[in-house]
Amino acid sequence: MVQQIVIRFSDDHISDLVLDVTNINFNIINTKWLRRICRDRRPDVTKNRRLRFIRAGGLLNSNSDLSRQLTSFFNTTRSNSQDQNQPSNTNNGNIPDESLLGERATSSTEEQFFIHCTVGAEPLSASELENEDTLDDAGPSSDGITTQAVGFDRLQSLGFSEEEIELIRNQFRETYGDLEDNANHNEGNNSQGNGNRETDIRQLEEQWMNQGTSNGTDAMGNPINTEDDRFNSVPIANYKQNRDLLIGLCIGLSLGLFALLLLRYEGLFNTRQKMAIWAGVIGNIVFSFARGF
């Protein structure tokens, strides 16, 4: 069983960094180690930039016990899959050997531990780079949650910029491609609700954040993994988005320029459907010219 850490960057232009840690001692894996690996593997986009890591809605720092989290996660995953193999997570001499670290495994059986990474916009000085862990530790603990901030806005108290929070929020909303449909459905059918789509989405963000900071422990003292891995593992182009694209393309191709008149009605189509309608209209025009020749 291949054990992997997948570092998913908040910027969609940066590809996921997949690390094979099957033969790596988990005791050496911490935020400092993750930063060094990110800068080694993605130097163009991470050099001299502030890197912060989030796991299940909680900010990781030098006090985070990643070794324990990794061990618990892989043991739980292996138990759920009923795999009788026992892959080793340490090398024979218990000495860190990064030559064993692969960026992408070739095995078809993989266990993936997702960590989100935000890349700061402003370059850091040499002294700031040396004290990145100290900057993370200076932030408030996960227990000190403010009541005013909701969802990802709570990350502001941890030192995240508006731009970084917006990148995380956009990725979250793209992954949950059916948020708009669910929010619109609730707005039309739940007379007791507040009817505010933005509030509904913020509550989902809040739920994801709380799942990462409120996980309990079992009888052995190991953390219970109750997080929703949908944000971590589901591709951005899910079936809801594909359905919106199909609807928009069909309307644009069928009605042609007349479809543009429908765009004047607010609330009739969401953003993805509108973009697909424009693409369908353009396709309709191209086919018309092609038939003319």
271: pLDDT strictly greater than 60 = yes
| Each residue's pLDDT tens digit, 192-202 | 444 455 556 66
| Each residue's pLDDT tens digit, 42-92 | 888 888 888 888 887 678 888 888 889 898 888 888 777 654 445 555 455
- Neighbour count for residue 19 (Cβ, 10 Å): 23
237: pLDDT strictly greater than 90 = no
129: pLDDT strictly greater than 80 = yes
Instruction: Kindly state the average pLDDT of the residues 147-168.
Output: 68
Instruction: Kindly state the average pLDDT of the residues 129-141.
Output: 70
Residue 212's contacts (CB-CB under 8 Å, 6 or more residues apart) are 54, 55, 56, 57, 58, 142, 227
234: pLDDT strictly greater than 90 = no
Whole-angstrom distance between the N-terminal and C-terminal Cα of the chain? 58
| Each residue's pLDDT tens digit, 103-113 | 544 444 678 89
Name the residue with tokens 């502001």. 156
Instruction: Kindly state the average pLDDT of the residues 156-183.
Output: 66
d(CA 158, CA 144): 11
Selected residue with higher pLDDT from 251 and 266: 251
Q: What is the pLDDT of residue 280?
A: 92
Selected residue with higher pLDDT from 37 and 226: 37
Q: What is the pLDDT of residue 235?
A: 44
Q: What is the pLDDT of residue 124?
A: 83
d(CA 90, CA 27): 9
Angstrom CA distances, 102 to 18, 63, 81, 167, 219, stand at 8, 26, 23, 28, 35
| Percent of the chain surpassing pLDDT 70 | 59
Selected residue with higher pLDDT from 186 and 247: 247
Instruction: Kindly state the average pLDDT of the residues 127-152.
Output: 63
Selected residue with higher pLDDT from 184 and 287: 287
| pTM for the predicted model, two decimal places | 0.49
d(CA 230, CA 213): 17
d(CA 103, CA 7): 11
Instruction: Kindly state the average pLDDT of the residues 4-14.
Output: 85
